Chain A
Amino acid sequence: MYTGKVTVQYRKGILDPQAQAVHSAVKSLGYNSVKDVEQRKEFCLKLDCENKEQAKNQLEEICQKLLANPAIEDYQFTVEEE
């Protein structure tokens, strides 16, 4: 069994209005030290695969097909054996 952790975020240069709203809320609490906020999605998938290579390949496919929209989002993932 393998655990895949996927992080999806907006590609650089794409404005994220939700992260901006969070940033302005943080500032309104008085934390002026905060200069930027990025918001990300994290997914944790359990994969029953023969080996790590197969788990990575499947996860890559899942990211491209479903978890990220390549028009606006980038993704990274790690795979660990349980």
Chain B
Amino acid sequence: MKFAVIVFPGSNCDKDAQYAVESLGHNCRLLWHKDTSLPKDVDCIILPGGFSYGDYLRSGAIARFSPIMEAVIKFAERGGLVIGICNGFQILLESGLLPGALMKNNSTKFICKRQKLNVANNSTAFTNKYKRNEEITLPIAHGDGNYYVSKDEYKKLKENNQILFTYSDNPNGSSFDIAGICNDKGNVAGMMPHPERAIEEILGGKDGAKVFTSIVKNFQGRV
């Protein structure tokens, strides 16, 4: 399976994402945000964490207009697998590929710690290796992780089973404890916690690896 990680000016988890995918035995290319097309054989695109464009204006607002995003949006609309982690999640929300918005943490503080989560839906392309309601621990590191979604949109997310992860002890004020979601077709996902920073014991745990092995399992099921 072939992955690609988009590098924006200010991305700082691009190499972590590449390392995670490669250490699990898969091919991964880094693509520059000014590229205008994707390699034809890419199977999954990762938008990494970081501070694209310094988070000026709003997190992800400027990166959403990077030249490569047009190709990423088309890829997603054709059913291609796309996952945005942290700043990548913010970019997907700003792109309109996922509903809602991310705001400043309700504490106004930047939070960097290990966080307990619940797997709310284990039947998606991004979570199928987890058990239902499994409690996992992933690192979080964000200032703008407070996910906002209106009540009507939340109803839709819930009805369509689009909520992937919820916080056990909501650290940032996110609506309905939401930590990660997918789109209604199930091929685009976004999450604030960092699975790529939790793929081996030396990193403090490997609960994040299953996000990537789920993607691979889903892809192999399709072929």
Contacts and interface: CB of A to CB of B under 8 A. Distances in A.
A18 interface: yes
B173 interface: yes
A53 B181 CA distance: 41
28 contacts: A14-B103, A15-B106, A15-B173, A17-B103, A17-B105, A17-B106, A17-B107, A17-B108, A17-B146, A17-B173, A18-B104, A18-B108, A20-B108, A21-B108, A65-B65, A66-B57, A66-B62, A69-B58, A69-B61, A69-B101, A71-B93, A71-B99, A71-B100, A71-B101, A71-B148, A72-B101, A72-B103, A72-B148
A59 interface: no
Contact of A66 (B61, B103, B107, B148): B61
Interface string B19-56: 00000000000000000000000000000000000000
Contacts of B173: 15, 17
A21 B65 CA distance: 32
A66 B103 CA distance: 16
A55 interface: no
A21 B106 CA distance: 10
A47 interface: no
Contacts of A72: 101, 103, 148
Given A14-B103, A67-B57, 8 more contacts: A17-B104, A17-B105, A20-B108, A66-B61, A66-B62, A69-B61, A71-B99, A72-B148
Interface in B106-127: 106-108
Interface residues of A, number: 13
A18 B143 CA distance: 12
B62, B93, B101: residue with the most chain A Cβ atoms closer than 10 Å: B101
A17, A20, A21, A65: residue with the most chain B Cβ atoms closer than 10 Å: A17
B94 interface: yes
A21 B180 CA distance: 27
Contacts of A66: 57, 61-62, 65
Nearest to B149: A71
Interface in A14-50: 14-18, 20-21
Contacts of B106: 15, 17
B72 to A, nearest CB: 17
A17 B144 CA distance: 11
